[in-house]
Structure 1
């Protein structure tokens, strides 16, 4: 089966400017009855129409480039299907040769070798094409980020209605790019919900949505993202909550990404004063918010379907150990393909990070693991497929996934997977298993990242040796 595994591994290695001012007409005539007057109220500064035109032109150009990439994706999908069929056929032939080598002569073997070289060349060509598309996506994201910053500035300085048409065009372009990237991911990473990999190997460049719903860069605390276990008809829902301090007093819900960008929420829940929370690493799962509370010091959950509130105390959890640069962050909730988790530190663990699996129906702790990493040295953490990943800051632009702990083996190890931040300060970082993305609340901006996993033949065999983790 050596030849068969080789080919499987080969396959797996291969997505009109409006009114200038307000006119007040005065119907009163002067004494002679032959004149009428009016007053013009002009803005205090001239609207930069040229800037808006430049943004509009950029939006049209980006839209055309996205359309070209969509066409390429269709070609990639066709080629990938053809290559897969060739590899499967060659794999069958090699398996036959391994079982009965005497039935084949040198000519047969040479013919197989030629076909192998041809498939290798085809896959190399496809990999280069895919890399080219990924580079284009990155470039388009940078251009869109510049566009949204310009639009935010114009909205703050001038009449928001005057910028609305251009913002709608920008949203259209951004949604087209989101769809193109989604199709790219479906074609080249059709493993959403699967844990048949050996872990994260790469994190994308930051993908910046825009400044928060209140257009306030001072709201540095908070979070945003998607429901990790969405209820029916809310699969596309996004949530957001932002503050100027580490408080949790309300939350907004948006039907989809477009309405998030338009700041058009369909629900805005103000928490009852006795339900207020603190910290930043709260999440939404099954239309329920899981978050930290101070009185009593512990965990809380609020179901937005039933508006039922519950709280739990973890007696050993300490309020002396928080994340680096994140005061009052004593509990960090996370969700992945296998369920709901929370991390904290205890005096018994001497500040080392403790990971606990939560039983969702009872809201109790199923099992605990004590890691070797010191919590105050960690900037944030998240879960993927039952594995804890801890992150720390390298410099003003770079974070590093430096540690992982596998709950299946009970062992931790030090790694290094650096990735870039959009801006220096961030407080919320969580993984979502429904799209395999990281969501970050970065200095008031919505930021997310694509993840790449090591889907090798060996990792697949290892994962399937035990029951695979599936989406709950």
Structure 2
């Protein structure tokens, strides 16, 4: 119940007087309380709506994105200076080196100027909002005196009790997730997920809610800092090019992208279908258009190779990720990377729609290696990822939380359904999620936003 609605529940103090007029009895009713200030309540509601429109989520994250971008550019400048110092031989490259550094400093200065402008605007907005909040608080204190039934007080007590119950449930001990043996990774067991560490809109803004991004899990020398991004620009289903950036800051700021096209149009043969894909060894692995096949696209040669899944494997929305509220379209095949390579996660009719894990040999053409069948039905899952040969599955709890609830250990064949590791969401849906073994981060594409989360191991 909102506070505005609560004030409707008011006890009106009345005084009665009666008089006889001939054979009729007449009662006069007088309200001894002052009239309810409806206009003042309307003014509070209007001001609150104006504040919500002014302080948007995008504005709140804009400053963070700029600071992150500035940090990355300064680090990049430092790396450039070190590299040029090593390459400089008897001042042969002196003039060129100084020009490169000059350009880097100029770009950093532009970022600083923009940061100063936004900070100044935010300071003004902060002062204005603080005054509005103070005025609204005074008005609400005055209006609350009309709540004779103490509805607001009782509502607050109910909310506090509800939060306490939720805390008690969180604190209940659960069996620990499976421990990953040290001979494979030495990471220990996954105990929590921290973050988000990165949270930003891409240069495409909110136009395309389905997509994927991340880093190459096995990059070529000199390509370690690159990031890739794919948006499904056709019907939220298909994509036909990969966009690459030199650093995280350039991705967030949309500076200097390089596009590599799989095909000239969309959709067509070899088009990317669905948001689940990974980059490994300068090669993109994804679900081929309109087939139950794994596509392998070499970023250098632009050659496409394929390997077919079993002919009863789900594709074209037969076994997508889903929850009660929605279906994540064309997510029949999920691709994952871990410390040992690439996997494809899918479901088949012969396995009753339950998840199957297949190791993908990253040869050219690719091949399917060892396969494991699970008892986890794919349509009850919202996403999966692999860590050290262990499959983790997530499910939707509410708009603010996703839960890692299931694991399958490919070494021991042990399944667990009792994990309760929560992921704090910034948007309602997570369309793409993958683990990077290089930095132990989860890379997430969520309703057009890109995020990273840190996996905490014990």
Give the TM-score normalised by structure 2.
0.57
Q: Secondary structure at the match of 1:258?
A: helix
Gaps of 5+ in 1: 1-50, 67-162, 172-191, 455-472
Aligned to 2:248: 257
Aligned to 1:127: none
Q: Secondary structure at the match of 2:250?
A: helix
Q: 1:64-108, CA deviations, whole angstroms, 9 ceiling, x for partnerless residues?
A: xx9xxxxxxxxxxxxxxxxxxxxxxxxxxxxxxxxxxxxxxxxxx
Match of 2:320 among 312, 319, 322: 322
Assess if the C-alpha contact under 8 Å between 1:427 and 1:442 holds in 2: yes
1:95-114 matched pairs, under 5 angstroms: none
Assess if the C-alpha contact under 8 Å between 1:212 and 1:242 holds in 2: no
Assess if the C-alpha contact under 8 Å between 2:202 and 2:251 holds in 1: no
Assess if the C-alpha contact under 8 Å between 2:273 and 2:290 holds in 1: no
Aligned to 2:216: 227
RCO comparison, higher one (Cα < 8 Å, 6+): 1
**2:374 maps to 1:371:** yes
1:200-349 matched pairs, under 5 angstroms: 200-214=190-204, 216-244=205-233, 245-272=236-263, 273-314=268-309, 315-319=311-315, 320-324=318-322, 325-349=327-351
Match of 1:417 among 415, 418, 421: 421
1:423: how far off? 0.7
Aligned to 2:448: 444
Q: Distance in 2 between matches of 1:285 and 1:240?
A: 14
Q: Secondary structure at the match of 1:233?
A: coil
1:165: how far off? 5.0
C-alpha change, 1:359 and 1:169, in structure 2 (3 Å) is farther
Assess if the C-alpha contact under 8 Å between 2:337 and 2:343 holds in 1: yes
Q: Distance in 1 between matches of 2:340 and 2:114?
A: 39
Q: Distance in 1 between matches of 2:430 and 2:411?
A: 30
C-alpha change, 1:166 and 1:425, in structure 2 (3 Å) is farther
Q: Which has the larger radius of gyration?
A: 2
1:194: how far off? 7.1
Assess if the C-alpha contact under 8 Å between 1:289 and 1:301 holds in 2: yes
RMSD: 2.8
1:209: how far off? 3.3
Give the TM-score normalised by structure 1.
0.55
Q: Secondary structure at the match of 1:369?
A: strand
Gaps of 5+ in 2: 1-55, 72-109, 119-181
1:197: how far off? 3.4
**2:352 maps to 1:350:** yes
C-alpha change, 1:229 and 1:167, in structure 2 (3 Å) is farther
Length, aligned pairs only? 280
Q: Distance in 2 between matches of 1:327 and 1:169?
A: 42
